[in-house]
Amino acid sequence: MRRKLVVANRKMNGSLASNKAFLEGLLAGTRDYQNADYAVCVPHPYLFQAEALLKGSAIAWGGQNMSRYESGAYTGSVSPGMLTEFSCEYVIIGHSERRQRGHDTDHSIGERFEVATKAGLKPILCIGETLDEYEDGITDVVTIRQLNAVINEIGVEGLAGGVVAYEPVWAIGTGKAASPAHAQNILSFLRGHIEMLNADIAKNIRILYGGSVNAGNAAELFSMPDIDGGLVGSASLNTADFVAICQAASNDYR
Ligand code: 13P
């Protein structure tokens, strides 16, 4: 059985003081809920603090993006090696906010996925359709294109080193989460696509749902057979809410 994974994407939020309160609250709030995995993806300047506070605990940490290059004249970028130096386990790749505003492309995301796994990181590959694409009924076409961009780069075997997160753009930050049935439908479709290429990888890879996951809807989303956890934005800015989401994932242990 796949263990659930709940990841906080704190985006460009936090401060040394508020991060400390959040991470300490998370450590305390998940102490008795160890049937799921948890991770916190923080802005790069806070990796040092995340490592200092979480080292030795069951909670992992990671970055929110990284360069596909190892070093060089890439002002403002962070390399995979820099993330591993701070013992990151995860890195978010291809978030829609970066696809739309940071000009990440399917191809460059595929390259990042490969570079991340080679560096020993577990990339969390974000895919998902926009509202227009959803309304046009082409969610399957868009998400498969985004997934195939990575599979073409590294082969289906390469996927095994990472995590996939289905995040419909229309559900991100809107308070309008996809219904559990819709999310389950798409995740099952994505897993089915992977299964055609490699049944073992399809069975074991974790596919998360992201987009307005909150303390009220997490348990129902996580009860769906193909939803292996959540990638959580806004609700990760409130310690009690995020802890409740983690507890829901742990309680769903089967
Ligand atoms: P929200 O949880 O705020 O909708 O954000 C989701 C997200 O973008 C996580 O990566």
Contacts of 27 (CB under 8 A, 6+ apart): 53, 54, 57, 59
Mean pLDDT value across residues 135-162: 95
Catalytic, 193? Answer: no
- Is 168 near ligand 1, meaning CB less than 6 Å away? no
The domain over range 4-251 is classified in CATH as 3.40.350.10? no
Quick one: tokens of 207?
Answer: 């596919």
Interhelix angle 139-159/106-118, nearest 10 degrees: 30
**Per-residue pLDDT reduced to its tens digit, 16-27:** 999 999 999 999
Task: Please tell me which residue in 97, 114, 167, 182 is annotated as part of the active site.
Answer: 167
Among candidate residues 95, 97, 114, 153, the one labeled active-site is 95
Mention every residue, 6+ apart, whose C-beta is less than 8 A from residue 240.
Answer: 25, 29, 215
CA atoms within 13 A on the CB side of 180: 15
Q: Domain limits of the chain?
A: 4-251
CB-CB contact of 184 with 227 (8 Å): yes
Torsion of CA 201, 42, 235, 141, to 10 degrees: -40
Average pLDDT over residues 225-241: 98
219 neighbors 251 (Cβ within 8 angstroms): yes
Q: Does any ligand 1 atom lie closer than 6 A to the CB of residue 230?
A: no
What is the mean pLDDT of the segment spanning 102-125?
A: 93
Instruction: Report whether pLDDT(254) > 70.
Output: no
pLDDT of residue 100: 86
